[in-house]
Amino acid sequence: MIIDIPEGQEPIGYVWGDMVPEIGTAAANFSLSVYAHTTLGLREFEAARLRIAQINGCGFCLDWRTDRDGEKVEEGFDELVGAWRTTEVSEAFDERTRLAAEYAERYALDHHGL
Protein backbone atom coordinates (compact mmCIF):
# COMPACT_ATOMS: atom_id res chain seq x y z
CA MET A 1 0.00 0.00 0.00
CA ILE A 2 1.31 3.45 -0.86
CA ILE A 3 0.04 6.38 1.15
CA ASP A 4 0.38 9.96 -0.01
CA ILE A 5 1.57 12.06 2.92
CA PRO A 6 0.56 15.73 2.69
CA GLU A 7 3.38 18.26 2.47
CA GLY A 8 4.68 19.19 5.91
CA GLN A 9 3.16 16.17 7.69
CA GLU A 10 5.24 13.69 9.67
CA PRO A 11 4.37 10.23 8.20
CA ILE A 12 3.76 8.23 11.39
CA GLY A 13 1.87 11.06 13.05
CA TYR A 14 -0.27 11.54 9.96
CA VAL A 15 -1.20 7.87 9.52
CA TRP A 16 -1.72 7.14 13.20
CA GLY A 17 -3.19 10.50 14.14
CA ASP A 18 -5.20 11.60 11.12
CA MET A 19 -5.97 8.54 9.01
CA VAL A 20 -6.64 5.88 11.65
CA PRO A 21 -6.37 7.44 15.11
CA GLU A 22 -7.60 4.26 16.81
CA ILE A 23 -4.47 2.39 15.74
CA GLY A 24 -2.25 5.02 17.35
CA THR A 25 -3.85 4.49 20.73
CA ALA A 26 -3.69 0.70 20.41
CA ALA A 27 -0.05 0.78 19.26
CA ALA A 28 0.93 3.17 22.04
CA ASN A 29 -0.72 0.99 24.70
CA PHE A 30 0.99 -2.14 23.34
CA SER A 31 4.35 -0.41 23.18
CA LEU A 32 4.04 1.03 26.68
CA SER A 33 3.18 -2.42 28.01
CA VAL A 34 6.32 -3.92 26.45
CA TYR A 35 8.50 -1.16 27.88
CA ALA A 36 6.86 -1.28 31.33
CA HIS A 37 6.87 -5.05 31.82
CA THR A 38 10.19 -6.15 30.37
CA THR A 39 12.52 -8.18 32.55
CA LEU A 40 15.54 -7.21 30.44
CA GLY A 41 18.10 -4.65 31.49
CA LEU A 42 18.29 -1.48 29.41
CA ARG A 43 21.28 -2.59 27.31
CA GLU A 44 19.78 -6.02 26.58
CA PHE A 45 16.42 -4.47 25.72
CA GLU A 46 18.00 -1.89 23.41
CA ALA A 47 20.23 -4.50 21.75
CA ALA A 48 17.20 -6.62 20.84
CA ARG A 49 15.06 -3.64 19.85
CA LEU A 50 17.78 -2.02 17.75
CA ARG A 51 18.72 -5.28 16.00
CA ILE A 52 15.10 -5.74 14.90
CA ALA A 53 15.03 -2.11 13.71
CA GLN A 54 18.26 -2.63 11.77
CA ILE A 55 16.81 -5.68 10.05
CA ASN A 56 13.42 -4.17 9.19
CA GLY A 57 14.81 -0.73 8.38
CA CYS A 58 12.39 1.26 10.53
CA GLY A 59 13.84 4.77 10.54
CA PHE A 60 11.74 5.84 13.52
CA CYS A 61 12.93 2.83 15.56
CA LEU A 62 16.55 3.31 14.48
CA ASP A 63 16.50 6.91 15.75
CA TRP A 64 14.67 6.09 18.99
CA ARG A 65 16.57 5.40 22.22
CA THR A 66 14.72 3.98 25.19
CA ASP A 67 14.95 6.21 28.25
CA ARG A 68 14.80 4.34 31.52
CA ASP A 69 14.88 6.57 34.58
CA GLY A 70 16.82 9.21 32.64
CA GLU A 71 19.38 6.72 31.34
CA LYS A 72 19.93 5.83 27.68
CA VAL A 73 22.54 3.74 25.90
CA GLU A 74 25.57 5.66 24.65
CA GLU A 75 26.13 7.05 21.16
CA GLY A 76 27.47 4.33 18.90
CA PHE A 77 25.70 1.50 20.74
CA ASP A 78 23.72 0.78 17.57
CA GLU A 79 27.00 0.11 15.73
CA LEU A 80 28.03 -2.42 18.40
CA VAL A 81 24.64 -4.10 18.02
CA GLY A 82 24.88 -4.18 14.23
CA ALA A 83 28.24 -5.93 14.50
CA TRP A 84 27.28 -8.21 17.41
CA ARG A 85 29.17 -11.18 15.92
CA THR A 86 32.50 -9.37 16.00
CA THR A 87 31.94 -6.88 18.83
CA GLU A 88 34.24 -7.79 21.69
CA VAL A 89 32.48 -8.96 24.84
CA SER A 90 33.43 -6.37 27.45
CA GLU A 91 31.97 -4.23 30.17
CA ALA A 92 30.39 -2.09 27.43
CA PHE A 93 28.94 -5.06 25.52
CA ASP A 94 28.50 -8.08 27.76
CA GLU A 95 27.45 -11.62 26.89
CA ARG A 96 23.76 -11.05 27.72
CA THR A 97 23.68 -7.99 25.44
CA ARG A 98 25.30 -9.99 22.64
CA LEU A 99 22.79 -12.79 23.17
CA ALA A 100 19.89 -10.31 23.02
CA ALA A 101 21.13 -9.01 19.65
CA GLU A 102 21.66 -12.55 18.36
CA TYR A 103 18.24 -13.73 19.55
CA ALA A 104 16.50 -10.75 17.93
CA GLU A 105 18.27 -11.39 14.64
CA ARG A 106 17.48 -15.09 14.66
CA TYR A 107 13.87 -14.39 15.63
CA ALA A 108 13.52 -11.98 12.71
CA LEU A 109 15.35 -14.02 10.09
CA ASP A 110 15.02 -17.67 11.14
CA HIS A 111 12.45 -18.08 13.91
CA HIS A 112 11.95 -21.75 13.04
CA GLY A 113 15.66 -22.36 13.59
CA LEU A 114 15.75 -21.00 17.14
pLDDT in tens, 63-91: 999 999 999 999 999 999 999 999 989 98
pLDDT in tens, 34-74: 888 999 999 999 999 999 999 999 988 999 999 999 999 99
φ, ψ of residue 68 to 5 degrees: the values are: -120, 110
Q: What is the DSSP letter of 112?
A: G
Model's pTM, two decimal places?
0.79
Residues 19, 1: contact at Cβ < 8 Å? Answer: no
